[in-house]
Amino acid sequence: MSAPQFGAPEPGRTYRDRPAAFGIVEREGRIALVQVEKPGHRAWLDLPGGARDPGEDEAQAVVREYGEETGLKVRAGEVYARADQRFINTDGEAFNNRAGFLVLTLLGEDPALKIEDDHTLVWLAPAEALARLRHEAHAWAVAAWMRLPS
């Protein structure tokens, strides 16, 4: 079965495939998101995660990205969903994130891991996250996570 594709392509643009991994960690009924603020752009909310580095699997990538973006230490579980998202980044590059979404376990906090100053950790109720996430694929993945058996 193929992954659902989100994001309408802009005519004449080529979207480079980018392997990525994102994850959901829950604490006290809320899930971790990042508010991203880039100069000259409105702030937006994403699931923590991102592009896989060469040689990384999805679990390694999402653990690394969580630390860099949020300062949280997490353990990766299984991939529970896959979805693709076309988007244009703030530098004008067109990507198609080919993403795995993983359930994560929160292990603790380590502020020394956080290196992305334009990312701020935000905890939201899943239903609020659905309405506010920037990418359709992320909202779809939260909805799929909400329907997982307990």
* pLDDT one-digit tens code per residue, 95-147: 999 999 999 999 999 999 999 999 999 999 999 999 999 999 999 999 999 99
Q: Residue 102 and residue 53: Cα distance in Å, rounded? A: 17
Q: Which amino acid is at 79?
A: V
**What mean pLDDT value characterizes the chain?**
97
Pairing verdict, β 5-6 and 49-51 = unpaired
Question: Cβ distance 96 to 86 under 8 Å?
Answer: yes
Q: CA–CA separation, 42 vs 35, rounded Å?
A: 10
Q: Which amino acid is at 48?
A: P
Confidence of residue 1 (pLDDT cuts 50, 70, 90): low
pLDDT value of residue 20: 98
Question: In this predicted structure, what is the pLDDT of residue 2?
Answer: 80
Side-chain half-sphere of 122: how many Cα atoms within 13 Å? Answer: 20
- Confirm whether pTM is higher than 0.75: yes
